[in-house]
Amino acid sequence: MRIATSAHTAASDLTARARIRDAAIACFADEGFDATFRTIAARAGVSPGLITHHFGSKTALRAECDAEVLRHYQELKTDSLADPSAYLVQNLTGPSAAAPLVVYLLRAIHAGGQPAREFLEHLIDGAREVMRRGVETGVVRPSRDEEARLRYLTYQTMGALLIQFLTSPGATPEEFVRSAQAGGRDQILPTLELFTEGFLTTRRMLDDYLVFVGDLQHAPPAEHP
């Protein structure tokens, strides 16, 4: 027998599913992916059976959490393009509402294996769109190899955060992000210098490399200073 559901029941059902997903994101950020259905249910204010009803398995629940975290993280990065300086100052001076998202990203990568590789590829897919918009709006310089630069920056960013995360055992997501914000102030100046002014005083190494790999379009000048 099939029982018809009202519009109100359907809306409540969707709300419960979203509440479970959001609670799972928070629990996975706090405890890692070993967090149990019972823990997630307690945080969401539902029964463990309702999680099984909506998601069936932890694998399916995590897949939906992954998608939501990646979607929201890309949204934050896209919004930052409107005023990068204001976004930077806000993250230096104010509390971060994205703390669970950041820690979830790090746990997903640190978990390793095929799920981590797939998650990282999805993260890069989102960053690719943000980078494209950055180049289009003139915030970011174009690259000779956009894909290579994108992957390099993603690995550098996630790798640096992962080192900080692994050397901060026991910290809650909020504590970790506050600590990263405080420590990040020592890293922002050299990072902005590198990104804005560069590091090497001449083009020689770049030009020599381009000749070495056969990129004649970007051949070096006849003389080097």
- Amino acid (one-letter) located at 39: T
Quick one: which of 44, 40, 47, 179 has its CA closest to 102? 179
Examine the domain organization and report whether 179 and 93 are in the same domain.
Answer: yes
Examine the domain organization and report whether 162 and 128 are in the same domain.
Answer: yes
Question: What confidence score (pLDDT) does residue 18 get?
Answer: 93
Residue 77 CB neighbours (<10 A): 17
- Average pLDDT of the residues of the chain: 83
DSSP assignment of 176-195: HHHHHHHHHHHHHHHHHHHH
Question: What confidence score (pLDDT) does residue 97 get?
Answer: 60
CATH code for the domain in which residue 97 is found: 1.10.357.10
Examine the domain organization and report whether 78 and 146 are in the same domain.
Answer: yes
179-224 residue pLDDT tens: 877 766 677 888 889 889 989 999 899 888 888 888 655 544 444 4
**Backbone φ/ψ region at 198: left (φ over 0), alpha (ψ -120 to 50), beta:** left
Domains: count for the chain: 2
92-141 residue pLDDT tens: 445 456 788 989 999 999 999 999 999 999 999 988 988 998 899 888 99
Examine the domain organization and report whether 100 and 25 are in the same domain.
Answer: no
Domain-embedded: residue 211: no
Between 225 and 22, the higher pLDDT residue: 22
Domain-embedded: residue 2: no
CATH code for the domain in which residue 24 is found: 1.10.10.60
Q: Could you list the residue range(s) of the whole structural domain that residue 46 is in?
A: 8-56
Domain-embedded: residue 1: no
Read off the DSSP letter of residue 5.
Answer: -
Domain-embedded: residue 195: yes
Examine the domain organization and report whether 82 and 113 are in the same domain.
Answer: yes
Question: What confidence score (pLDDT) does residue 184 get?
Answer: 62
Percentage, residues of the chain above pLDDT 70: 80
Examine the domain organization and report whether 152 and 125 are in the same domain.
Answer: yes
Examine the domain organization and report whether 89 and 175 are in the same domain.
Answer: yes
Domain-embedded: residue 128: yes
Examine the domain organization and report whether 186 and 76 are in the same domain.
Answer: yes
Task: Decide: residue 52, CB within 10 A, 0-12 exposed, 13-18 middle, 19+ buried.
Answer: middle
Domain-embedded: residue 225: no
161 SS3 class: helix
Examine the domain organization and report whether 14 and 99 are in the same domain.
Answer: no
Domain-embedded: residue 111: yes
CA distance 129 to 124: 9
Given a contact cutoff of 8 angstroms between Cβ atoms, the answer to whether 161 and 102 are in contact is yes
CA distance 12 to 15: 5
Examine the domain organization and report whether 46 and 81 are in the same domain.
Answer: no
In angstroms, the Cα distances linking 212 to 23, 207, 219 are: 53, 9, 10
Domain-embedded: residue 189: yes
CA distance 20 to 60: 12
Examine the domain organization and report whether 69 and 51 are in the same domain.
Answer: no
Structure token pair of residue 53 = 């009803």
Examine the domain organization and report whether 82 and 175 are in the same domain.
Answer: yes
Between 178 and 121, the higher pLDDT residue: 121
Between 43 and 8, the higher pLDDT residue: 43
